Amino acid sequence: MVDITLEDLVEIMRKCAGEDENLIANDAVATTDFDELGYDSLALMAASAEVEKSYGVAVDEGELAEIRNLASFVELVNKKLALRAPAS
């Protein structure tokens, strides 16, 4: 199974919401609310579509509404990836 990392998600957000050179994948950014980072619901929906395309897991609108920061987005995607992984 391939997990999504904070760095991966930052790159996806840059691609979907526009390049932000100040956004660096670190603990402070990971726990900062999306609105403080300048990301709106459209950016999150675009990122969700890119995550589905790249990782094969869907994040629905209800789940997106509950996500407040990059760390929680990464956690949700990785939980979905773990559920999808074949049992060894």
- The domain segmentation of the chain, as residue ranges, is 6-84
Handedness of CA 58, 7, 27, 84 (dihedral sign): positive
The span from the CA of 24 to the CA of 32, in Å, is 12
pLDDT for res 45: 95
How far apart are the C-alpha atoms of 30 and 9, rounded to whole Å? 10
Q: What is the CATH code for 6-84?
A: 1.10.1200.10
Q: What's this model's pTM, rounded to 2 decimal places? A: 0.89
Res 24: pLDDT: 78
86 near 18, Cβ under 8 Å?
no
Q: Tens digits of per-residue pLDDT, 23-49?
A: 778 888 899 999 998 899 999 999 999
- Count of CB atoms situated within 10 Å of the CB of 13: 25
Beta bridge partners, 33, equal 69
